Structure 1
Amino acid sequence: MWRIPVADSTSVPKTALTALQQGGVIVYPTEAVYGLGCDPDDQHAVEKLLAIKQRPVEKGLILIADNYGQLLKYVDDAKIPMDKRADIFSSWPGAITWVMPAAKNTPKWLTGQFDTIAVRVTNHPTVKRLCQELGKPLVSTSANLSGQDTVTSIEMAKSEFDQQVAFYVDEPLGGRTQPSTIKDVMTGKIFRG
């Protein structure tokens, strides 16, 4: 009988997907900057990401997805008024992050001190592929220490994080010059322009 070897935590992942499935944190390209990402359902991985970034859990995190269906587990879709849906879906896929009511079971390691969750459906081909392969969204936060300049190259990311990150996805950014706009779906308030 053939046995499939089980990777231990010291093994080097061969792909970004393997790293994510093993609870690792990856660096990957987004629309404007490189991001730190992990499996949003893996509390240990999210805590590792927050420690690497030196970000307090209370601030909450963004989820980035291939399609809205991947976000439904985390979003209380029933609370989103019909008249707001045109704004949301006309902006996606794209670089607009919407702050939406969080589903009741969405973990606090994602929402932080809030009863909302920030989510985005991306048009970046690399991120779309990662989310398709993982079958769910990724945590998406800029690949920099909290309060520091954003990272716009893999070399900068490697210099900043070295071996703390399980895998570096060395593919191009999406061509935007600014990180995604963040808007509240209920009020229209812009948190980041």
Structure 2
Amino acid sequence: MERITLQSGARKMAEGEVIAYATEAVFGLGCDPDNREAVMRLLAIKQRPVEKGLILLAADVDQLRPYVDFDALSDAQRQRVFDSWPGPYTWVVPAKPGVPEWITGQFQSVAVRVTAHPQAADLARLFGKPMVSTSANLSGDEPGRSVAEVQHTLSGRVAGVVDSQVGDSLSPSTIINAITGETLRAG
């Protein structure tokens, strides 16, 4: 698996490919959330059921607006979400009508994050919209924390790995239900 640039990674996702890229704590697998075939390929690589849903990672809140019904949140809920970004907080929020079920899974919501990782944010900016973000590993295995680990684990399965480094976080993002405030995964 080749090491690729941010520009090449954005181009490969636009072409329907699955890539690996660094985030705050681990490498993630990414693709175009609107490309069903790409998402299904990513899920097959991960050995992850579509019913679980996927996280969308963005460079800024505006990239998420086509997918998220922020108006379904109270002012206080919305402010809590916005105040946590950019950062290692993934929020489960109501999805806008028409968000594909291969992203929402069995839910009427979507998990979203505005990343604080500079290279991941640049990748999303170059791509022009949010990208799927799920840990770069097979289900049940430890996520990759280096280019070499990802190359070893996922060689031949993805179109490339962005030549980058993970951030300083030791655990994946905290996942919180924006409406109930329930922590679904502690980071």
- The alignment's TM-score, normalised by the length of structure 2, stands at 0.94
Partner of 1:86: 79
Partner of 2:58: 65
1:116 to 109, 117, 120: 109
> Aligned pair 1:181/2:171, yes or no?
no
> Aligned pair 1:47/2:30, yes or no?
no
Q: CA RMSD in A?
A: 1.3
Given that residues 147 and 165 in structure 2 are in contact (C-alpha distance below 8 angstroms), is that contact kept between their aligned partners in structure 1? no
Given that residues 69 and 96 in structure 2 are in contact (C-alpha distance below 8 angstroms), is that contact kept between their aligned partners in structure 1? yes
> Aligned pair 1:133/2:126, yes or no?
yes
> Aligned pair 1:157/2:150, yes or no?
yes
Paired amino acid for 1:172: Q
Listed one character per residue, the Cα deviations across residues 101-133 of structure 1 (whole Å, up to 9, x for unaligned) are 011110000000001100000111111111111
How far did residue 170 of structure 1 move?
1.7
Q: Which protein shows a greater Rg?
A: 1
Partner of 1:4: none
**Secondary structure of the equivalent of 2:170?**
coil
Listed one character per residue, the Cα deviations across residues 17-41 of structure 1 (whole Å, up to 9, x for unaligned) are 2211110000000000000000111
Partner of 2:183: 190
**Secondary structure of the equivalent of 1:84?**
helix
**Secondary structure of the equivalent of 1:40?**
coil
**Secondary structure of the equivalent of 1:191?**
strand
The count of corresponding residues between Structure 1 and Structure 2 is 182
> Aligned pair 1:98/2:91, yes or no?
yes
Paired amino acid for 1:88: V
**Which consecutive residues of structure 1, in runs of 5 or more, have no partner in the other structure?**
1-12
**Secondary structure of the equivalent of 1:114?**
coil
**Secondary structure of the equivalent of 1:163?**
coil
**Secondary structure of the equivalent of 1:130?**
helix
**Which consecutive residues of structure 2, in runs of 5 or more, have no partner in the other structure?**
none
> Aligned pair 1:166/2:170, yes or no?
no
Paired amino acid for 2:111: A
Instruction: Flag as ranges the 4+ runs of structure 1 deviating above 4 A.
Output: none
Cα distance in 1 for partners of 2:141, 2:157 equals: 17
Partner of 2:31: 38
